[in-house]
Amino acid sequence: MPDFADLALQYIDGEWRPGSGSWDIIDFNPYNGEKLCSITVATAEEVDQAYRAAERAQPEWAATNPYTRRLVFERALRVVEEREEEIAEAIVAELGGTRTKAGFELHLAKEFLRESVQLALRATGKIIPSPVDSKENRVYQVPVGVVGVISPFNFPFLLSLKSVAPALALGNAVVLKPHQNTPICGGSLVASILEQAGLPKGLLNVVITDIAEIGDALIEHPVPKVISFTGSDKVGRHVATVAAANFKHAVLELGGNSALIVLDDADIDYAVDAAVFSRFVHQGQVCMAANRVIVDRSVQQEFTDKFVAKVSTLKVGDPADPSTVIGPLINSSQVERITSLVDQCVESGATALLRGEAEGNLVSPSVLTDLPADSPALREEIFGPVALIIPVDGEDEAVRVANDTPYGLSGAVHTADTDRGVAVAHRIETGMIHVNDSTVSDEPIVPFGGEKHSGLGRLNGDHFVQAFTTTKWIAIQHGRSGFPF
């Protein structure tokens, strides 16, 4: 495991240094409460220093041959591979991720580094015809300049790298603010890896701080042209409002309330496996998690019996134990929120087929059914180990129930008929949906993002180019133009 104390610093203009704020963020292991490190917060002045360092370093980086830029990400991939066990141990310790979850996060992080190697070469230009004789229109995709990245606590290493590496590969500089619950995995560790990979100083700056210290300085600052935010829709709405008021583009990857639909002809055993994974991976702290399992009434009993039986076998405990499936929630506030939600559902008439208990930050799974139609739990993001089973009569009702939410991030449809599954998938108001698979999936070249309250814009593949470059038109008049006066 890395020495957390060595990484408990700000990283500004290529220098590791303490923050100058008046208070510390205390980084705890959510499983055993062990103090991992304390970090003095960065101030608004240090946010300014980070953005100014990025602003100074970016032009030379943008002018660097992209074949040279991509070498940094090739080396970063090798560094991650060499330090893989160390990073996995950090994920287990800082955010309570299980060993399986750490492996999943690291696999995707490496895939996105591989994609960043290719992205360095993908911002191309084109020539567009002109109605004016002897005129040439050249259109370029050029770096936006500086990108502000705000990452979440649930997949901090992956979701920091997922914006940071593509933005850098495309010729930008970055200021990264990780979540205060995961400052090392989401911030310092990313900087350490890219520093080791030879990224020039000033191009990546990491400020570990909190809105209580800096307010909206990270978003309002005049230097960044794009803000990439991953987190809750409540905070995302605020980020979008402030960014728009300051003429910045916001890329928002927000929450979800995904539905996994089990139609009457589904492979029940397989659907159970997909639903259990989709709901309980990383304790349900995943934006794509299947909050709602919508099951055709004709197979409801068989599905429910098998689902509850499988969930009952999931081991809850120490995330460092390879056999553990459900580790701790990130903090006591999340524990209180989840236990209160279950209590409220049961009090309002829901049936608890399993009712989880809390011990410290560990919360065992709950499975609820018979929820009243007006239950708030059906429409909100749960972000914990609670599954809702909702019986329906036929696919039309399944579609109606699936769409009855302000979110639209992911989803899944299980059926023996692929064409039927695709037809149902087309009717679900969501940015991503999977036929006969989990709701939790990400790949480096497919468009990732949501509809409704689940976000704005897309990431991955060519969508990285759209997010982190801007379009520039250069017109060339060969010969002399004629003017009316």
Q: Catalytic residue numbers?
A: 253, 287
DSSP lists the bridge partners of residue 138 as 127, 474
Residue 294: name the closest of 355, 214, 371 by CA.
371
DSSP lists the bridge partners of residue 391 as 295
C-alpha dihedral, 210 to 221 to 231 to 339, nearest 10°? 30
Pairwise CA distance, residues 66 & 18, whole Å: 33
CB atoms within 10 A of CB 301: 11
Residue 413: name the closest of 404, 401, 422, 405 by CA.
422
Handedness of CA 288, 291, 297, 299 (dihedral sign): positive
**Locate tokens 């070498």: which residue?**
71
Name the DSSP class of 200: P
Rg (CA), the chain: 24
Q: For residue 429, give the 3-state DSSP assignment.
A: coil
CA dist 294 → 167, 291, 305, 433 (Å): 38, 10, 14, 14
**Which helix H or strand E contains 58, and what residues bound it?**
helix 44-63
24 with 39: CB under 8 angstroms? yes
Do the strands 135-143 and 469-477 form a parallel or antiparallel pair, or are they unpaired? Answer: antiparallel
**Locate tokens 């995995």: which residue?**
185
8 with 27: CB under 8 angstroms? yes
DSSP lists the bridge partners of residue 258 as 290
Pairwise CA distance, residues 158 & 116, whole Å: 13
- Tokens for 237, please give them: 């709405």
Per DSSP (E only), the strands in 18-172 are: 24-28, 35-40, 125-128, 135-143, 146-150
Do the strands 10-12 and 15-17 form a parallel or antiparallel pair, or are they unpaired? Answer: antiparallel
| Helix 156-169 × helix 84-95 angle, to 10° | 130
CB atoms within 10 A of CB 311: 24
DSSP lists the bridge partners of residue 390 as 294
Torsion-angle region of 370 (φ positive above 0: left; ψ -120 to 50: alpha; else: beta)? left
